[in-house]
Structure 1
Amino acid sequence: MACTHIDSAELRAPRPNQPVYREDCTQCFDSIDDPTGLDVCLLCFNGGCTGERNHSTVHHQRSGHPLVLNIRRTRKVVQRDEPPPKMSKLAIAADKEEDRYDTTTRVNCYSCRASNIDKSAGKLPAVVDGVMKALTFSRQEEVKAWEQEYAPCQHVQSLVQDQSSELKSKDLSQCASCDLKENLWLCLECGNLGCGRSQFGGVGGNSHGLAHADASSHGVAVKLGSITPEGSADVFCYKCNDEIIDPKLTEHLAHWGINIADREKTEQSLVEMQIEQNLKWDFSMTGQDGHESKPLFGSGLTGLKNLGNSCYISSVVQCLLSLPDFKERYTQSMTEPPLVSSPAEDLETQLRKLSDGLHSGRYSFPDPDAAGDTDAPNVVYQKGLAPAMFKHLVGRGHEEFSTMRQQDAFEFLMHLFKLITRSKHSDGLQDPVGSFQFALEQRLQCLSCKKVRYTVDEQDNISVPVPARRLESNNNATEGAGDQDSKPEFETVTLKECLDIFTGDEKVELTCPACGSKEGFLKRSRFKTFPKNLAVNARRFTLVNWVPTKLNIPVEVNDEPFDLGVYMSSGLQEGEELLPDDSRSQPSAFVPNQGALDQLLAMGFPEVRCKKALHATGNSDPEAAMNWLFSHMEDPDIDTPVELTTGNVASADQPMDDPDKIAQLNEMGIEAAKARKALRETDGDVMRAVDWVFSHPDDVDMADDSAGSTGGGARETPGSKGLPAEFQLQSIICHKGASVHAGHYVAFVRKLLPEMEAPHWVLFNDEKVAEAFDIDEMKKFAYVYFFRKL
């Protein structure tokens, strides 16, 4: 039968930046490598599977789009005589698909029930050619994310060089302040030669270049060993704290007697060192006894392919989707996916796709091309699923998670929680993040009059401090150096000690509204309720040159259950007198959100700065506070303690009561009274107001807003008060490397494997899934712990 749709006016080739989903189905992980191939819609370029689930037919029934291009790919048999070349620069090598695969295509029409339509008919030639030549969605996103365009900054554009010519006769082979002869940075303003920072790539350095920049206020320096005759080099601005480009580098170097044409590159660039470091941090799959981990396959044992520094995403997803609350929520029937126009842009669809991919067992099988490491080349792992659509969706518009750079796994966990909570949960489906939510009660007691105040914050994690007690034999060791395979530097602490510190008394500098004393308060945080699942971030960081650096402090955590009930708040006690609640008439002392404060402290920022940042950004969003901190690092009073206040009453005619903004929040499901209060608390910023509502569900005074309220009643406090509150370790995220923004993340999950009576620990190292070894050692250095209430 002839097709009547091949001349349709709607039929046109994809635009250059239009996503083309021709690798895997947008609603499951079936792909062009399956026996029946993948259908790409020739109108919207959605990818739909054609096998058992047949999401291509579902797409046609819902959209009415008739024409599809079926693409089927089979791997060629290639003889490998040489190993692949080692990666040496930050670039995407041309990888020709036709060199590795045989690809067949055919055009079908669902409406006309025509198959194998002549591809040279009607408008088909241009459309089919456009689909096959277009960058796949995952590659398109990869190219965007890898594009790091360094630009000149204001300091290099206004650079004024000293007129002294003394450097022209100086030796350029040694630091001016020590005897180091590598990692040397030349100040382009005055010609000072100083060594670089020691933490970059493990290269030696005493930070004399940085010390010179701090003392002289000179900003721009160039790394001598990175200069090439072609005119490229590492140029760094200490004032911007970033790598930049110097458009007049040749001229600026010539001023100091350096002819760029005569230079020879002798050292790695910063990018090359970063890549080499990440390659070195490849998590070994071989134990200390030389035993290779046994690969595992089957339901719940599917790995996630590394898309380029995406191990932080994989580790979080494996831990979350192994929990019953998330597994049950997103393991739905795949025959009727969510009714959305663009499945690749829908978080619900992509989470269901991920859950099915990890738990169905459909994609977990040995792949001959996925060989083990060099110590055990004959061990075969699985190919792993590529969560490209999920990564793009959750990172879209985010300054950090939209890039291909390594990111902090704990920060990503908090970001994902926020996205899931804000997404739609219809048809009686519950928000699974609720299983992590609980109430933390904070008690403040004036040291002078002894009056108290109790406040309750809703949280979905805790960040506990890990005390650093350096071993005497390592007192002179470099902070943060090495990793968990090196000699221990710090005393082992227990999880109980960390929890004791977290829930213990801490002095805070506040003025008492009752007696006016400036003596301060004792602050204590305890659990008012307990969650089903508890995420614990272990804070093991210190600031080195304003860079958060990890300290390898062992923390003892057992598999046996432990009772958190000892940390439950007892509430207002008999005889305690409450501080006056005068927040409606005058400002009161600012109390930072404990969860947000803990996250900022975990990054290594001083407490004074953290409180100022939270006060300035709405007291709920650590990310916004962190951005504020980076933009105010140079403020002369940034470290000066000040008395912060909150609770100012806003009049009805203030801009925070803007009807348009209230309407915006109403459209997000936030009732008018809450919207009005949230805008007042966040200086009228809509996005900060949204965060404020989610982080202050019980902190909305509606007495003066009853007329504008849409009802709904008070929200029930999350969590449970049931005792005993016994928790057991379920999974951990481990990290190798001195910084959370480099190195490598892996996940360990307790699973009940087939033919085994008791749960065993399983290692998820991106696409590699294997039996875990040395798990007790791994637990000591985990970055994030996931516990479940029994």
Structure 2
Amino acid sequence: MSCPHVTGITLRPPTASQQVHKDDCTQCFDTPDQPWGIDVCLSCFNGGCDSPDRNHSFQHFRLSQHPIVLNIKRKPKPKKVREESPAKILKLSIPGETEADNFDTTTLVKCLACDGLELDKAIPNIAEVVNGVLTALSSTKQSEVKAWEEEILPCEHTLVLDQDDAKVLADQELAHCSQCDLKENLWLCLKCGNLGCGRQQFGGVGGNGHGLTHFEQTLHPVSVKLGSITPDGTADVYCYLCNEERQDPNLAEHLWHWGIKISERLKVEKSLVELQLEHNMKWEFSMTNESGEELQPLFGPGFTGLKNLGNSCYLASVVQCLFSLPTFQERYYYQNGALPLTLDPANDLETQLRKLADGLLSGRYSLPPNREEQLESPYPKGIAPSMFKALVGKNHVEFSTMRQQDAFEFLLYMIQTIRRASHQTHDADPTKVFSFVSEQRLQCLGCKKVNYKTDVQDNISVPVPVERLPMESSQDNQDFKSVSLKECLDRFTQSERLEYTCQACGSKDGAVTRTAFKTFPEVLVVNARRFELVNWVPTKLDIPVVVPDEPFSLDDYFSRGLQPGEELLPQTPLTSDNEFVPNGEILSMLEEMGFPSSRCEKALYNTGNSDPDAAMNWLFQHMEDPDIDDPLNLGKVGSNLEISEGSIAVLADMGFTVLQAKKSLKETGGDMERAVEWLFSHPDDDGSTPEAQSERTEVTAGDTLMPALFKLHSIICHKGASVHAGHYVTFIKKTIGEQSNDAANDRDWVLFNDEKVVRGGEVDEMKKFAYVYFFERYRA
């Protein structure tokens, strides 16, 4: 039987920029390793599984009418025993391995319009395309290669380096650190020629930090790692003032100033990039209990791990927490298997979220390893969220890279991304469980008048009190006094005195301000701020926070709003030119923490200009707003700008209220395109003015039901000195095994460490040092 469809269409090999989805199905996590393999569409290169129960390949054909596919099946080759040491990583790149290096692969071409009729791969119209698909980088590898590209730039300190009087460094002077006997990991100060050892690094690289000590004593900023210098002029250059790896365009000249000829140098040590890559690929979190026993692997629905894509543990920890919540499960998993009808599922967020939910919750990809696999690892291989990571981080300056990121920042980004997508499609928003209303109360100490301002939030960042223990009192290497969660909440909601000039009475006696809960969320996300600034760099502090196992109440932190007898203050002061005057002291404080001035001014304007914690929380809440870095412009708000009724009607037809439409158009000068963008980036803004917001009593998020009891649901933990390096894992309280009559007693802690999922047991110590806490509403 011949196929009439081969001659009826024109097939072309994939170009270098086209995505070829051959590593896994675009709608589920089936791979070519499954018995049915993956069908790659030879028209658009979509990858679809050919499984008997889902057959996403045929679904794609019905939608696209692309009949010809290449079916790819593969079996992993036995692992070769390496006798020689592995080759050194020479640059930050993806090894150029082919399918043939790792797999035995079988392929066949078939026509789905002819009930899977097998076609001859030698047909001229097909052969070239098949070869192009097999030799092309898969979409996964293509994303990884692009994401690994990291440009290290010069800074002002390397560009205008002022060196001391020249001297020739003798070989013996370059033999070891000037302060100790270390002979590797040596850093040459390009300013004065001092040689100091670096800090300890991953992989057993020793260091006493004498290079850093030299900087602290002299403030000489730029050093070069001697062992990393290559004859072609590359080397590790570090700027201590920037606290970043930098590029020195004049490195050869700066080294020759100290008598070092770059052409005679030989690279003998791994670079910082190589060490970072090796660190990310090989990091192991402890998988044993206190007795040294291996933790019990778990399998089945809800116990599927996520493969580390090189630096994606921050993403895995957040995703596991989100999809353990009922609202996310109901929204993305319990949909009767239905998937959106789209020609490009790999780039459709709804599809990728449902694919992720199915992968994590179905149990299809969490099976006990067979005997051969058991020899390699007792854990399942997990699923690779490559497609999801590439899509959700697309065009984001940080999350599109392979560098380690802050899990809390990614959580906020995920919430905003999902919320914006839900708003656009008018679907149920699973992130509503995080939303609540906070209320800030400010009272002038002169006239006693008050101001109330509300803000919709998705989390709180609580300050953790810092109290160092005396050396003689330190136990178990604990340098800080333990604090309770209640102490952190008390600190977050306590009254603070501020410098304040009252616009009502003119008093300069100051004011007191307090932030509290106007409503309570279903899930409270708490970020524990355990940082202090060291050389203007946020440095993590290991302060134990004691979190209760039993439900605790937030009733004491409830704000009851304007009370009888209280008189409202005038609104945020403006000058005669209608410009906002930020509180200088708080503005400086926020700027010193690294926030741009424009963001700080917006935060102060939107939080009453008097509370640094409220302003900081606003910054965390709105960091992903597309207009966050635009200058504060009050002239548009409340001005005489004429708003077109037609523009209002268009926005109203999109599902927005008239108030929201008017405010968005005023905020953007009447520009429709920018107004739509503003609306999607402010989904919780109901369109009322700041004056109306201060007096309204309408509940916009959360509820006021009390007792407001909460119980710990999950935690994200971090291991490492900086949230931008190290490793993230998550612990989630889940039901293990068959549910009994007393479900609460069956719940136990489960550790998700990338693809490894194990019974966590007691996690009291981990709870003390968690980075992000998820508390569920507890209803007795």
TM range (shorter): 0.7 to 0.9
Distance between the aligned counterparts of 1:544 and 1:370, measured in 2? 50
Say whether 1:466 aligns with 2:492.
no
Q: Equivalents in 2 of 1:76, 1:346: separation in Å?
A: 34
Residue range with higher mean Cα deviation, 418-427 or 344-353: 418-427
Q: Deviations over 1:251-278 (max 9, x none)?
A: 3322321123443546543224434554
Secondary structure in 1 matching 2:520? coil
Q: What's the counterpart of residue 318 of structure 2?
A: 316
Q: Displacement of 1:450 after TM fit?
A: 1.5
- Do the aligned partners of residues 10 and 454 (structure 1) sit closer, same or farther apart at CA in structure 2, a change above 3 Å counting? farther
From 249, 252, 272, the equivalent of 1:250 is 252
Question: CA 1:39–1:564 in structure 2 vs 1: closer, same or farther (change >3 Å)?
Answer: same
Structure-to-structure mapping, 1:470-481, within 5 angstroms: 470-473=468-471
In structure 1, what is the equivalent of residue 437 of structure 2? 439
Letter in 1 for 2:776: R
Distance 1:622 1:214, change over 3 A: farther
The answer (yes or no) to whether the contact 1:194–1:212 under 8 Å persists in 2 is no
Specify the SS of the correspondent of 1:380. coil
CA contact (8 A) 1:22 1:136 kept: yes
Aligned residues: 747
Give the partner amino acid of 1:313.
L
Q: Which residue in the other structure is 1:675 paired with?
A: 664
In structure 2, the CA distance between the partners of 1:42 and 1:490, relative to structure 1 (3 Å rule), is same
Q: How does 1:557-706 map to 2 (within 5 A)?
A: 557-581=547-571, 590=582, 605=594, 611-612=600-601, 614=603, 622=620, 671-679=660-668, 689-690=678-679, 693-694=682-683, 696-697=685-686, 699-700=688-689
Aligned position for 1:70: 71
The residue type equivalent to 1:753 in the other structure is I
Q: Residues 73 and 102 of structure 1 are in contact (CA less than 8 Å); yes or no, is this contact kept in structure 2?
A: yes
1:543 match = 533
Q: Compared with structure 1, are the counterparts of its residues 745 and 132 closer, same or farther at alpha carbon in structure 2 (3 Å cutoff)?
A: same
Which amino acid in the other structure matches residue 679 of structure 1?
A: T
**1:321-362 deviation line (CA, Å, top 9, x unaligned):** 001111111114465311222111111111111111111111
* Distance (Å, rounded) in 1 between the aligned partners of 2:646 and 2:263: 61
Q: Does 1:15 align with 2:4?
A: no
Change over 3 Å in CA distance of 1:21–1:293 after alignment to 2: same
Instruction: State the 1:246 CA deviation.
Output: 3.6
Distance in 2 separating the partners of 1:394 and 1:339: 19
Moved more, 512-521 or 179-188: 179-188
Aligned-partner Cα distance in 1 for 2:138–2:563: 63
Contact 1:48 1:56 in 2 (8 A): yes
Query: Where in structure 2 are the equivalents of 1:231-310 lying within 5 Å?
Result: 231-237=233-239, 242-265=244-267, 267-275=269-277, 277-278=279-280, 281-310=283-312
Match of 2:417 in 1: 419
Q: Aligned equivalents of 2:624 and 2:333: distance in 1?
A: 35
Deviations 1:614-655 (A, max 9, x none): 459997554986999x999xxxxxxxxxxx99855657577x
Shift of 1:569: 0.7
Larger displacement relative to structure 2 (62-71 or 459-468): 62-71
Pairing partner for 1:392 from 374, 378, 390: 390
Which deviations, in whole Å up to 9, do the C-alpha atoms of 1:244-302 show, x marking residues without a partner? 33444333322321123443546543224434554675201012211100000001111
- Tell me if the contact between 1:528 and 1:568 (Cα under 8 Å) persists in the aligned partners: yes
Question: Contact (CA 8 Å) 1:763, 1:771: kept in 2 or not?
Answer: yes
In the TM superposition, what is the alpha-carbon distance from 1:737 to its structure 2 partner? 0.6
Contact kept? 2:582, 2:601, Cα under 8 Å: no
CA distance in 2, matches of 1:312, 1:687: 31
Deviation at 1:559, TM superposition (A): 2.1
Give yes or no for the alignment of 1:127 onto 2:129.
Answer: yes
SS at the partner of 1:317? helix
Distance 2:184 2:650 in 1: 57
Following TM superposition, by how much is the alpha carbon of 1:99 offset from its aligned partner in structure 2, in angstroms?
Answer: 3.0
Q: Is the 8 A contact 2:451 2:569 kept in 1?
A: yes
Match of 2:610 in 1: none
Q: Which residue identity does 2:478 align to in structure 1?
A: P
The question of whether the paired residues in 1 share the 8 Å contact of 2:636 and 2:668 is answered with no
The correspondence for 2:748, drawn from 752, 756, 760, is: 760
Q: What is the rounded CA distance, in whole Å, between the counterparts of 2:340 and 2:476 in structure 1?
A: 49
Q: Is the 8 A contact 2:11 2:125 kept in 1?
A: yes
Q: 1:195 to 1:448 in 2, by over 3 A?
A: farther
Gap change, CA 1:688 and 1:672, over 3 Å in 2: closer
Match of residue 635 from structure 1? none
Alpha-carbon distance, 1:396 to partner: 0.6
Code of the residue aligned with 1:786 in structure 2: it is F
Question: For 1:454-491, what per-residue CA distance to the aligned partner results, in whole angstroms no more than 9, with x for missing partners?
Answer: 0110001111111111111179x9xxxxxxx9711111
Distance (whole Å) between structure 2 residues aligned to residue 700 and residue 389 of structure 1:
41
Out of 143-152 and 348-357, give the one that drifted further: 143-152
Deviation of 1:557 (Å): 1.0
Which of 346-355 and 618-627 deviates more? 618-627
Deviates more, 1:106-115 or 1:443-452: 106-115
Residues 96 and 238 (structure 1 numbering): CA distance in 2 closer, same or farther, change over 3 Å? same
Letter in 1 for 2:207: V
Task: Output the amino acid matched with 1:224.
Answer: L
Task: Please give the per-residue CA displacement for 1:596-622, whole angstroms capped at 9, x wherever unaligned.
Answer: 999x79x95599998357459997554
**Superposition deviation, residue 231 in structure 1:** 3.4
The letter of the residue matching 1:68 is V
CA drift of 1:558 comes to: 2.1
Say whether the 8 Å CA contact 2:711–2:776 is kept in structure 1.
yes
Aligned to 1:710: none
Match of 1:59 in 2: 60
> CA 1:158–1:563 in 2, change beyond 3 Å: closer, same or farther?
closer
Is the contact between residue 33 and residue 74 of structure 1 (CA under 8 Å) also seen in structure 2? Answer: yes
Partner of 1:519: 509
* Conservation of the 8 A alpha-carbon contact between 1:436 and 1:533: yes
1:311–1:746 Cα contact (<8 Å) kept: yes
Deviation at 1:4, TM superposition (A): 2.6
Report whether the alignment pairs 1:203 with 2:199. Answer: no
Q: Matches of residues 729-748 of structure 1 in structure 2 within 5 Å?
A: 729-748=712-731
Distance in 2 between residues matched to 1:165 and 1:105, nearest whole Å: 66
Computed over aligned residues only, the root mean square deviation of the Cα atoms, in angstroms, reads 4.2
- Which amino acid is 1:735 matched to? H
1:510 Cα deviation from its structure 2 partner: 3.3
Gaps of 5+ in 1: 478-484, 633-643, 704-712
Using the size of structure 2 for normalisation, the TM-score is 0.85
> What is the DSSP-based 3-state SS (H/G/I as helix, E as strand, rest coil) of the residue aligned with 1:127?
helix
**Aligned equivalent of 2:765, options 764, 772, 777:** 777
**Is the contact made by 1:589 and 1:646 (CA closer than 8 Å) also made in structure 2?**
no
- Spell out the pairing of 1:158-237 with structure 2 (5 A cutoff): 164-165=166-167, 171-172=173-174, 184-188=186-190, 190-193=191-194, 195=196, 198=199, 203-206=207-210, 207-208=212-213, 210-211=215-216, 214=219, 220-237=222-239
> Would you say the 8 A contact 1:647–1:681 is kept in 2?
no
| CA shift for structure 1 position 497 | 0.6
Question: Structure 1 residues 307, 109: CA separation in 2 closer, same or farther (over 3 Å shift)?
Answer: same
What is the correspondence of 1:327-342 to structure 2 with a 5 Å cutoff? 327-333=329-335, 335-342=337-344
Q: Deviations over 1:505-557 (max 9, x none)?
A: 12233322212233322111111111111111111111222322211111111
**Structure 1 residues 279 and 11 mapped into 2: Cα distance closer, same or farther (>3 Å)?**
closer
Of 66-75 and 146-155, the range deviating more from structure 2: 146-155
Counterpart Cα distance in 1 of 2:249 and 2:349: 43
For the 8 Å contact 2:749–2:762, the answer to whether it is kept is no
Q: 1:428 to 1:350 in 2, by over 3 A?
A: same
| CA distance in structure 2 between the aligned counterparts of 1:597 and 1:694, rounded to whole angstroms | 30
* CA drift at 1:73: 1.3
Q: C-alpha separation between the residues in 2 aligned to 1:428 and 1:715?
A: 22
Q: Does 1:724 align with 2:707?
A: yes
Q: 1:63 to 1:298 in 2, by over 3 A?
A: same
Closer/same/farther in 2, CA of residues 770 and 591 from structure 1, 3 Å limit: farther
Bigger mean CA offset, 461-470 vs 332-341: 332-341
* 3-state secondary structure, aligned to 1:694: coil
Question: Percent identity between the aligned chains?
Answer: 49
User: In structure 2, how many angstroms separate the alpha carbons of the residues matched to 1:113 and 1:692?
Assistant: 47
